[in-house]
Amino acid sequence: MVTSGNTANIMTRRHLTAVGLSRIKPPAAGQVDHFDAGYPGLALRISYAGSRSWVYFYRWQGKQKRLTFGPWPALELAQARDAWRHARKRLASGLEPLVAPPAASTDNFASVAADCLKRDQADNRSHDEVKRILHREVLPAWGHRRFADIDRREILDLIDKIVDRGAGTLARRCQAHLHRLFRWSVGRGLIEANPMTDLPKPSTEVRRTRVLTDEELRLAWRAAEQVGWPMGSAIQLLVLTAARREEIGALEWREIDKLRNEIRLEGRRTRNGEAHTIPLSVPARALLDAVPRMANSAFVFTTTGETAISGWSRAKDRVDRLMFEQAQTQARQGEEDTGKVRIEPWRIHDLRRTIATRMEGLGIRLQVVEALLGHTAGSRAGVVGIYQQHTYEEEKRSAIEKWAEHIANIGCLARVPE
């Protein structure tokens, strides 16, 4: 705490939080200025009588001055910081700061982003991904901000923070989504220019190459078995089908054709927007037959009956932990040093790459593997994709049975019901 010699000018400096503000007690006498660390000059002034106001200290034409933004809690912390930014911009432009009104609800970033998702992204398959990234990475920082006030420097700071935590690929995607949002806003007349024009890309997007070994695949299968229904069973079905996580996670009973032993997905359920069939091997069909069916639920994997499963991250964390415990047990039984046990990090999506890699090793043609994965790029890109319309349905069925035989040989299918 810093004082200037009397109780009327007591000052503190800390990183203020919305929750912490209500816990600050009034002084016994006089007033205290609680400065917000990271926002030079911004303070919450609290008097002994309990009144609380946001104030900003600055120098203008060589004199120390103070500007009152408004009372708390009517003016929230985020709004006070917005007012501070507005005042600082005026100072930087050679103008004396003024009190700026808080952004109207239709004028802030959250409202503009919601309108863009509705009008520009509604029919795009990437809608949910864009919404998820904006809600997780951007809205916490800018949701309350006046959209037109967000500048290039702030955008760079936000992207850099994502890069600094080691998420370069996410940073690039976030930048791309924001660029489209600002470009759309220019077209709608909300801003005059796109502040992200010619903004350098933050990081080179790294293509993942992680492929699980047969031993890791066996450990993952048995760990999923321990996790059980629904998450563990869903992961096992991913191993058996090479399908995408979203395709299996939101699988509906009506999408399972038991007569043809296959999963039939409409275009709205696939990444490329095209209908896709996934043949079911004998073990995959046995697994689905053993899945408990919740009354009146459309979903195969569900805990509520009304929505598809979620919580993949928690389930994956548990699978990782169980894999490690199994590996340690095996090391002890083999009289090996358990301290050397290590399983390289992997993601659920790596299962598809693992299956594709192993299938080619089993002699299955690339075109068949791509058809099974539902890929329209690769060998089917360009002119070939236009003229080559064979769907490889029989070849896919043969491949999936060959894959089932392989994972049975490495010990994955020992406990799948027959």
Same domain, 283 and 322: yes
Residue 47's CATH number? 3.30.160.390
Query: Using one digit for the tens of pLDDT, what is the confidence trace for 7-43?
Result: 446 778 888 887 788 888 888 888 899 999 889 999 9
Question: Are 64 and 122 members of one domain?
Answer: no
Question: Angle at Cα 351 formed by Cα 345 and Cα 357, nearest 5°?
Answer: 110
**The last residue of a domain, from among 187, 203, 237:** 187
- The pLDDT assigned to 170 comes to 86
Residue 376 lies in a domain: yes
Is 197 a member of any domain? no
Flag whether 418 is in a domain: no
33 and 162 in a single domain? The answer is no
pLDDT digits (tens, 9 = 90+) for 81-91: 888 988 888 88
The answer on 375 and 310 residing in a single domain is: yes
Number of domains in the chain: 3
- Whether residue 399 is found in the same domain as residue 269: yes
For residue 151, the domain's CATH number is: 1.10.150
> Which of 124-138, 195-209, 247-261 has maximum average pLDDT?
247-261
Residues 360-369 have a mean pLDDT of 93
Q: Which of 92, 122, 142 is the last residue of a domain?
A: 92
Q: Is the pLDDT of residue 220 over 90?
A: yes
Per-residue pLDDT tens digits for 251-295: 999 999 999 999 999 988 887 778 999 999 999 999 999 999 988
In order, the DSSP letters of 140-156 are: HHHTTSBGGG--HHHHH
Q: Which of 48, 67, 92 marks a domain boundary?
A: 92
* Within a domain: 272: yes
pTM to 2 decimal places: 0.58
Which residue, chain included where needed, has tokens 């802030």? 108
Which pLDDT does position 417 carry in this prediction? 39
Same domain, 276 and 394: yes
CA–CA gap between residue 332 and residue 338 (Å, rounded): 6
- Looking up tokens 């004082």 gives 3
Residues in the chain: 418
pLDDT band at residue 200, thresholds of 50, 70 and 90?
Answer: confident
> Does residue 225 sit in the same domain as residue 153?
no
Residue that the structure tokens 């002994």 belong to: 48
287 part of a folded domain: yes
> Based on the domain organization, do 87 and 115 belong to the same domain?
no
Indicate if the pLDDT at residue 2 is higher than 80.
no
Asked whether residue 414 is assigned to any structural domain, the reply reads: no
Tell me the mean pLDDT in the region 190-205. 83
| Residue keyed to tokens 């420097």 | 153
Tell me, yes or no, whether 277 and 398 share the same domain: yes
- Is residue 122 situated within a structural domain? yes
Q: Which of 24-38, 102-116, 381-395 has the highest mean pLDDT?
A: 24-38
Q: What is the CATH number of the domain that holds 404?
A: 1.10.443.10
Answer yes or no: do 146 and 250 share one domain: no
Beta-carbon count within 10 A of 318 CB: 17
Same domain, 383 and 248: yes
Examine residue 193 and state whether it is found in any structural domain, yes or no. Answer: no
Element (H, E) at 200: none
Domain membership of residue 88 as a residue range: 7-92
| DSSP helix/strand/coil, 350 | helix
Q: Do 317 and 387 belong to one domain?
A: yes
